[in-house]
Amino acid sequence: MDHFQYSDGMLLSEDVSLSDIAEDVGTPFYVYSNATLERHYNAFAQAFDGLDTMVCYSVKANSNIAVVRTLARLGAGADVVSGGELKRALAAGVPANKIVFSGVGKTTQEIGDALKLGIMQINVESEPELEVLSQVAVDLGVEAAVAFRVNPDVDAQTHAKISTGKSENKFGIELNRIHEVCRKAKDMSGIHLVGLAMHIGSQLTETGPFREAYIRMYGLASKLRAEGFNVERLDLGGGLGIPYGDNEGPLIGPVEYAKIVHEVFDDFDGKLIFEPGRVIAGNAGVLVTRVIYLKKGATRDFAIVDAAMNDLTRPSLYDAFHEIVPVALADDNAIVPYDVVGPICETGDTFCTQRNLPLLAAGDLLAIRSAGAYGATMASSYNTRALIPEVMVRGRDFSVIRRRMEVDDLIALEMFPAWLSNSPD
């Protein structure tokens, strides 16, 4: 359930009409509901009764510092994958000792910064990374708390571009090598093994892959412990899928997910870390856009809107389905199949094709739902379209949490080389 509901024919976020926000900040914009973020976080965090757990919100899903702070205030730690995300998590108020750093390509600089800050854990994804980590830790005179990210070779049965747990994927260390790597790590200075990590993919809609991967993780952890290795924490990653609309299969709720975790890890004596992203933020946000033109093509009706693939790239990148609804409900029942498209000069700039929507008029507002995760964070300025504002609603209040970028902000980052510095004659 989310807090985007109609009242008197108008779509509200909590108690605020989306058309009022549009009046105030202009379109397009992202809007997030505080109550939905809180509800989703609490539903997840409270699902694991009796287990020693910690939730490290996956910042990549929605990294706005106001979103991260909202979750941090509820007790969330953070899963970060770059020095930039690390900086954001800290700026949002997440304590360093609740931050996990994942990612296949951490630079020496990023590793050094993370170690200086004393973050909770670094998830190491390769042997070369382990060597750099050891060197940097020794140079700084600290011990790095390390979990090895295991690649369990399990098919997450999700979109190929967001599947991460198969042996051909770039992520993690092959399960069969983990023993060897742990032995190696034992003799390395600056490395303190704390556990294992995994993340097999995103938008999982079946329980099977989670169960399979977790059983492998449990088996590996038990063997390592039997050999005297310190496996006090298991980081089980994120990945829970969310409903995007009426074309989704059965989904896994936090309670069903927690059941699998209980089944596999009930007698694991240690901490379980989770890195949910989409399941917290996805349905807590919508992208509001205005119809610029209605164009009758030879075979299609196009609704050309002011948001585009640079603002929300999921439909063009993954052929993702996002439900699209009018902000104001129409009085009549006329339904028209529209292609809702943006202004960018690519056919891929299409939010949906042949989608039945109420009869639209230029100027109408539409809400593209389930856009709270991997929406604003994946936006670009392609076609020199400046990044759009983000707004957070709480009850009757709303607040801009990222101002609209100006094209001048973009151009200000650029400069001429000396040989072009004179204006053309």
Under the binding rule (CB under 6 A), the answer on residue 203 touching ligand LLP is yes
Which of the stretches 10-18, 26-34, 195-203, 247-255 binds ligand LLP when contact is defined by CB under 6 A? 195-203
- Token code pair at residue 71: 């979750």
Under the binding rule (CB under 6 A), the answer on residue 202 touching ligand LLP is yes
- Token code pair at residue 239: 């990945």
Pick the closer one to ligand LLP by CB: 28 or 277. 277
Strand blocks (E) in 115-163? 121-124, 144-151
The distance of closest approach from Cβ of residue 8 to ligand LLP in the complex, given in angstroms and rounded to an integer, is 33
Q: Which of 376, 295, 292, 360 is nearest to 324 (CA)?
A: 360
What size, in residues, is the chain?
425
Pick the closer one to ligand LLP by CB: 79 or 85. 79
From residue 239, alpha-carbon distances to 201, 276, 279, 331, 367 in Å are 6, 6, 8, 40, 25
The distance of closest approach from Cβ of residue 228 to ligand LLP in the complex, given in angstroms and rounded to an integer, is 28
Query: How far is Cα 144 from Cα 137, in angstroms, rounded to an integer?
Result: 6
Under the binding rule (CB under 6 A), the answer on residue 40 touching ligand LLP is no
Pick the closer one to ligand LLP by CB: 29 or 171. 171
Q: Which of 71, 135, 134, 137 is nearest to 99 (CA)?
A: 71
Under the binding rule (CB under 6 A), the answer on residue 209 touching ligand LLP is no
Among 3, 106, 314, 394, binds ligand LLP (CB under 6 A): 314
First to last CA, the chain: 62
Q: Which of residues 80-99 bind ligand LLP (CB under 6 A)?
A: none
Among 110, 275, 349, 364, binds ligand LLP (CB under 6 A): 275
Is the distance from CB of 236 to CB of 273 less than 8 angstroms? yes
The distance of closest approach from Cβ of residue 116 to ligand LLP in the complex, given in angstroms and rounded to an integer, is 22
Under the binding rule (CB under 6 A), the answer on residue 165 touching ligand LLP is no
DSSP-based three-state secondary structure for 379: coil
The distance of closest approach from Cβ of residue 277 to ligand LLP in the complex, given in angstroms and rounded to an integer, is 3
Among 40, 88, 98, 199, binds ligand LLP (CB under 6 A): 199
Q: Which of 322, 262, 326, 323 is nearest to 289 (CA)?
A: 326
User: Residues 123-162 vs ligand LLP: string with x where CB under 6 A?
Assistant: ---------------------------------------x
Query: How far is Cα 11 from Cα 30, in angstroms, rounded to an integer?
Result: 14
Under the binding rule (CB under 6 A), the answer on residue 163 touching ligand LLP is no
Q: Which of residues 229-258 bind ligand LLP (CB under 6 A)?
A: 237-240
Under the binding rule (CB under 6 A), the answer on residue 277 touching ligand LLP is yes
Under the binding rule (CB under 6 A), the answer on residue 372 touching ligand LLP is no
Respond yes or no on whether the N-terminal peptide bond of residue 28 is cis (omega within 30° of 0).
yes
Q: Give the active site residue among 56, 182, 345, 352.
A: 345
Under the binding rule (CB under 6 A), the answer on residue 369 touching ligand LLP is no
Under the binding rule (CB under 6 A), the answer on residue 77 touching ligand LLP is no
Q: Which of 252, 102, 93 is nearest to 170 (CA)?
A: 102
Pick the closer one to ligand LLP by CB: 137 or 273. 273
Under the binding rule (CB under 6 A), the answer on residue 63 touching ligand LLP is no
Sign (positive/negative) of CA torsion 146, 152, 156, 160? Answer: positive
Residue 46's φ and ψ, nearest 5 degrees, are -90, 5
Among 47, 61, 185, 288, binds ligand LLP (CB under 6 A): 61
Pick the closer one to ligand LLP by CB: 152 or 190. 152
Cross-strand partners of 368: 287, 324
Strand blocks (E) in 161-284? 173-174, 191-197, 233-235, 271-274
Cross-strand partners of 324: 368
The residue type at 70: T
The distance of closest approach from Cβ of residue 377 to ligand LLP in the complex, given in angstroms and rounded to an integer, is 8
Annotated active-site residue 182? The verdict is no
The distance of closest approach from Cβ of residue 159 to ligand LLP in the complex, given in angstroms and rounded to an integer, is 7
Under the binding rule (CB under 6 A), the answer on residue 28 touching ligand LLP is no
- Token code pair at residue 303: 């609704």
Is the distance from CB of 61 to CB of 48 less than 8 angstroms? no
Under the binding rule (CB under 6 A), the answer on residue 326 touching ligand LLP is no
The distance of closest approach from Cβ of residue 406 to ligand LLP in the complex, given in angstroms and rounded to an integer, is 27
Under the binding rule (CB under 6 A), the answer on residue 102 touching ligand LLP is yes
Half-sphere exposure of 291 (CA within 13 A, CB side): 24
- Token code pair at residue 129: 């990374």
User: How many residues sit close enough to ligand LLP to count as binding (CB under 6 A)?
Assistant: 23
DSSP-based three-state secondary structure for 115: helix
Which amino acids are annotated catalytic? 345
Residues that bind ligand LLP (CB under 6 A): 58, 60-61, 79, 102, 162, 199, 202-203, 237-240, 275-279, 314, 318, 373-374, 378
